[in-house]
Amino acid sequence: MVITYIPPKLETSTREIAIQKGKYIIGYMQRYQQGIEGQLNTGVNLEVVSEETNDEYTIQQELFHSNGGLVWTIFKDEVVIGDIQSNPDGTKKHRIIANVKGHLPIQVTSTWKRTGKINKKGSTVIKGLFNHKIQIDSLHELKEVDSSLLASIVYIFWSSQEHPNKKRS
């Protein structure tokens, strides 16, 4: 199964992003800003609507993990169904692990070729020089995972990845 979406040109854009499987739109995701204790959190927060299952998901960034990684909570129709952790073991190679209720963990790990491996056999890659498109080639084992939710997990992977010129505060 190949899933694609076109990311916004600006990292903090809140425009709606269509998620496609082939030529069909299967869902939408939209980044949102969240205020915490009087401060505007510019972390990666997403609202996701699946046209396939009619489910609504929210992925909300929480506090930093003690190992320097990030943590997100995944909600489905306002009920917690899982979490995502970046670099849970403190390694230098960018990696996220999504634990979604009822599914095996979904691990996305960066490679030195600027691609990502999904559970070792699937992949995600940025295609195009100027008009980027994120492509996700998932595994048969992930066919039970809502495609829109999988696309949003991959969005978290690419959006939370350290850029060479970006310093963590």
Q: Convert the pLDDT of each residue in 3-23 to its tens digit.
A: 877 777 666 677 889 999 988
Please give the structure tokens belonging to residue 105. Answer: 């963990």
- Average pLDDT (111-137) is 79
Q: In terms of pLDDT, which residue wins out, 75 or 2?
A: 75
The whole-angstrom separation of Cα 104 and Cα 136 is 18
Judged against a pLDDT cut of 80, whether residue 1 lies above it is answered with no
- 17 - beta bridge partners? 29
Classify residue 138: in a domain, yes or no.
yes
Number of structural domains the chain divides into: 1
pLDDT tier for residue 67 given thresholds of 50, 70 and 90: low
Residue 165, in any domain of the structure? no
Query: By the 8 A CB rule, do 136 and 151 touch?
Result: yes
Which has the minimum average pLDDT: 49-53, 94-98, 132-136, 137-141?
Answer: 137-141
Q: What is the pLDDT of residue 166?
A: 39
Tokens 């996700």 belong to which residue? Answer: 136
Confidence check: pLDDT of 36 > 80:
no
Q: Six-digit token pair at 2? A: 């190949």
Q: For residue 132, is it left (φ>0), alpha (ψ between -120 and 50) or beta?
A: beta
- Tell me what the pLDDT averaged over the chain comes to: 81
Q: What percent of the chain has pLDDT over 70?
A: 79
For 17-31, give one letter per residue: b (16+ CB within 10 A) or e. bebbbeeeebbbbeb
Cα torsion 90, 69, 167, 48 to 10°: value is 140
Q: Is residue 120 part of a domain?
A: yes
Answer whether residue 167 is part of any domain: no
The answer to the question of residue 168 being in a domain is: no
Query: Domain of 153?
Result: 2-160
**Residue 82 within a domain:** yes
What's residue 28's pLDDT? 95
163 has a pLDDT exceeding 50:
no
Section 60-86 average pLDDT: 85
- What's the first-to-final CA gap in the chain, in angstroms? 38
Residue 169 within a domain:
no
| Helices of type H across the chain | 147-160
Residue 81's pLDDT is 97
Q: What are residue 140's phi and psi, to 5 degrees?
A: -60, -35
